[in-house]
Amino acid sequence: MTPDAIRTAFLEDLTSVAPDIDPDTVGDDDHLQDDLGLDSMDFLNLVSALHKRFGLPIPEADYPELATTARAVRYLGKAMAG
Amino acid sequence: MPSLGADMEEGTLIEWLIAPGATVARGDIVAVVETQKGAIEIEIFEPGEVVSLIAQPGQTLPVGAPLATLRKPGEGVEDAPEPEPEPVAEAVATPEAAPEPAAPVKRPMQEPAPVTGGAAASGPLASPAAKARAAEAGIDLARVSGSGPGGAVLLADVEASLAAAPKQARQPDTPATRPAPKGKPGLDMAEMRRAIAAAMSRAKREIPHYYLSHRIDLQAAQDWLSARNAERPPDERLLMGALLIRATVRALAKVPELNGRHEGADYTPSDTINCGMAVAMRGGGLIAPAIMDAQDKGLDAIMEAMRDLVARTRAGRLRNSEVTQGTLTVSSLGESGVDALFGVIYPPQVALVGFGSPRTEPVVQRGNLAARLCVTATLAADHRVSDGRRGATFLAEIDRLLQEPETL
């Protein structure tokens, strides 16, 4: 998957768990919790959605890698490649 | 129109989920009403048969106005109106009917012409839900065959028609015919702020609050949680918030007077624990829907209920029992907040438990300094019902329970 495709998929899952967020306004470096206001339940639901979509385990220890869209795209790309 | 909070004056019917002739049981969801707290699913509290639907989707009605008439099981049928859309004047002639339902009603500009005199003045006979669904889907009711009394088109008929002809040409819907969008929060933040202001002003006016604070070592709970979650896929992982709520609910067994409702001059302790959970809305404001019967739910069930409640709060699909029947509220700041929160009790409840953000702190353990994850738990409680000593026992019990997470 290209980084752009991963980004699109990530934003799709993000807006499915947070339907009030407009994907066009999400900056690559916005912090999901501090800037976009996701709470721990929203974040866990996002991890669940990404887990199902990409088939990756995403252990809790890796949660910081999903802190922003840019970091998440890098993390997911690397995890799928490796 | 049920009251969904002491401050609620009116609500707007969005849709009916029942049709005349339907048999309903206590607890069935029968309608969706738009309120200051978003769209709320209305449960019915009496079993019976739906005789008629009085309110039309789109109508705004004051609290107490009848929405529908219901025949209780075993009630006489001799003078019951035919189960078809009834004129308002007849349908409200029931003993419990509130006064003057028609007068204060605000109607959207292009509401379907109200049925008058029992005769279908325009278009085919159809239930309000069927009309709303047909308008939403852009299909002509005249082309749907009705299975209801007198050939009335029911919601099920419209659904069947839609299912049979999914590609049927649909008229583009216009703002006037389109009901409120479903599944969207549809929250008016100014209204929500007003509702919060009313409830909190009442709390500060009527409830003599006292406050306690206690630091709890969460390291044991965190270690247990990390080990448990490491073996599980995301769907089965627990959040610390579930442990905090579970510990709070269990601690109530030791100080049961903190769980209940103070209505009028009387305090009534509650046997069941409907544990409110404050959910912050991203646009501002918050809602504290309750996890019903939390005393019967284990850790996984609490987690599942929290997940479900948060999702439905975000989507604007809470039930009226969840927003009105709470017996105690927990407010948890989560990971990126401050050290402690001192809450305002949500009336008519008598206690609110607050958890600040867990942080790693220096703790003296058996004479040595250690870095441990800690959380500050607070209690705001009603002095008419309990005293500081009992409140302290309660917070100490939450602490004790969290030191043995495997037994939660």
Q: Choose, out of B228, B231, B237, the residue to mutate when testing the contact with A (most A CBs < 10 Å).
A: B237
Residue B215 backbone phi and psi in degrees, to 5? -85, 130
C-alpha span between A76 and B394 (Å, rounded): 44
Rg (CA), chain B: 25
Q: What is the mean pLDDT of each run of 10 residues along chain A (82 residues)?
A: 94 91 92 91 95 95 95 95 82
* Total Cβ atoms within 10 A of residue B214: 17
What integer is the mean pLDDT of B210-232? 97
Q: How confident is the model at residue B251 (pLDDT cuts 50, 70, 90)?
A: very high
Which tens digits make up the pLDDT trace of B133-181? 776 677 777 777 777 666 777 777 777 777 776 444 444 444 443 343 3
CA distance A72 to chain B (A): 16
pLDDT of residue B379: 98
* Total Cβ atoms within 10 A of residue B337: 14
pLDDT of residue B96: 40
Closest C-alpha among B320, B327, B313 to residue B285: B313
Flag whether pLDDT at B112 surpasses 70.
no
At B241, which helix (H) or strand (E)?
helix B240-251
C-alpha span between B227 and B229 (Å, rounded): 6
Prediction pTM value = 0.72
pLDDT higher at B264 or B391 = B391
Determine contact, residues B213/B343, Cβ cutoff 8 Å.
Answer: no
Closest C-alpha among B342, B386, B403 to residue B254: B386
Q: Smallest Cβ distance to A51: which of B233, B307, B314? A: B233
* Interstrand relation of B318-319 and B328-332 (parallel, antiparallel or unpaired): unpaired
Q: DSSP per residue over B307-362, as a string? A: HHHHHHHHHT-EEHHHHH--SEEEEE--TTS-S-------TT--EEEEE---EEEE
ipTM of the complex model: 0.91
B286: which strand partners?
B280
Q: Choose, out of A38, A40, A41, A53, the residue to mutate when testing the contact with B (most B CBs < 10 Å).
A: A41
Closest C-alpha among B53, B46, B48 to residue B83: B53
Q: Smallest Cβ distance to A41: which of B184, B239, B282? A: B239
| B348 upstream amide cis, omega within 30 of 0 | yes
Contact A20 B314 (CB under 8 A): yes
Determine contact, residues B286/B196, Cβ cutoff 8 Å.
Answer: yes
